[in-house]
Amino acid sequence: MPSPQLVLVTGSAGNVGQTVFHGLLPHFALRAFDRVPTPGATDQHLGDLADRAAVDRAVAGMDTVIHLGGCPRMEADFMGDLIRPNVEGLWHMLDAARLAGVKRFIFASSTNVAFGATGLPQLTPGTVHVFNPYGATKALGENLGRWFHDTYGMEFLAVRIGYFRGIYNDPALREAWLHRIWLGPRDCAEYFRLAVVAPRFGYGVAYACSRCPENYLDLTSARELIGYEPAETVPDAP
C-alpha cells in the first residue's frame, strides 16, 4: 500500500484550523503547528511563524502544507499586527517548504483580496481589489505563491475563504450579505481534503464557499482545479 500523505496544518488551533485538522484526521497523517496546543493532535509543534527554526522543524518530512496560520483580523494594523505573521511568517513557511521538498502548498487567502471591487455581480479569481491591509497581505501571499511555483515548481493553491465561523447556529447570519459568502464546516473540511488529493494543477486561485445566494463567489476554478462542489446551504439565523 502507498505511504500515507504527510500533511502539515499551520494555524491548527484556530477557527478554520481546528475544522480542517479534525476533518482531515481520518484521511492523512497530520502534523499540527500553532503557538498554542491543538486539541486532539498527537504530532504537533508549538512555535511562531516568525521563528524560522521552528518553521523548519515543523515542515521537515511533509508532502503537503496547508497554511492557515497568520493574523486573521480584518481590522489589524499593518505594521503592528500583520508584518510578522502574514508577511515574514509566510516567507519562512514558503521557503522552508521549498527546501524541504514539499510538493504542494495550500494557502489560506481571503475574499478581502477582492472586496474592494464593490458593485460587481460576481467576484472571480481574477478580481484583485484589496479591501484592507489584511487583504493586501493575502494578495501578496497569492503573488509569492505564483513566484515560488514559477521558480521552483512547487504547486500552490490560494483558497479565498468566505465567511466562516465553524457553527450553524450563528446570529451573525442575520446580516444578509454574509449569506453570499458563507462557508459551512463540512464543506470547509471537504474542500481542503480535495485540495490535498487533487491531480496536479500547478498554480491556482479559487474561492471557498457553500451554496450561497446569487453565486457571488465564482466557484468555477474550485470545480476545475480540485473537483469541489458545495453540499451545504446557508442556514437561517437563530
CATH number, domain at 12? 3.40.50.720
Domain holding 201, by residue range, is 6-226
Q: Are 57 and 11 in contact (CB under 8 A)?
A: no
pLDDT at 185: 96
Cell of 210: 457553500
Per-position pLDDT tens, the chain of length 238 = 355 689 999 999 999 999 999 999 999 999 999 999 999 999 999 999 999 999 999 999 999 999 999 988 888 889 999 999 999 999 999 999 999 999 999 999 999 999 888 889 999 999 999 999 999 999 999 999 999 999 999 999 999 999 999 999 999 999 999 999 999 999 999 999 999 999 999 999 999 999 988 889 999 999 999 999 999 999 887 7
* 214 φ/ψ sector (left φ>0, alpha ψ -120 to 50, else beta): left
Residue 136 to residues 87, 157, 166, Cα–Cα distance (Å): 10, 17, 24
Nearby residues of 168 by Cβ (< 8 Å), 6 or more positions away: 184, 185, 235
Tell me which residue of 185, 147, 150 sits closest to 167, measured CA to CA.
185
Distance separating alpha carbons of residues 122 and 86, to the nearest angstrom: 27
C-alpha cell at 148: 515560488
Question: Is residue 235 a part of any domain in this protein?
Answer: no
Does a structural domain hold residue 59?
yes
- 92 occurs within a structural domain: yes
pLDDT at res. 4:
64
- The reply to whether 217 falls in a domain is yes
How many whole angstroms separate alpha carbon 14 and alpha carbon 142?
21
Domain assignment present for residue 58? The answer is yes
Q: What residue type is 159 in one-letter code?
A: V
Residue 1 lies in a domain: no
pTM, to two decimals: 0.95
pLDDT given for residue 1 in this prediction: 39
Compute the residue count for the chain: 238
Predicted local confidence at residue 74, as pLDDT: 82
How confident is the model at residue 125, as a pLDDT? 94
Residue 225 phi, psi dihedral angles, 5° rounding: -80, -40
Residue 160 is assigned to a structural domain of this protein: yes
CB 29 within 8 A of CB 19: no
How many structural domains does the chain have? 1
Q: Is residue 156 part of a domain?
A: yes
Q: Residue 182, SS3?
A: strand
CA distance 141 to 46: 23
Alpha-carbon gap, residue 94 to 232, rounded angstroms? 32
Q: What angle do CA 176, 180, 82 make, to 5 degrees?
A: 100
Beta bridge partners of 211: 233
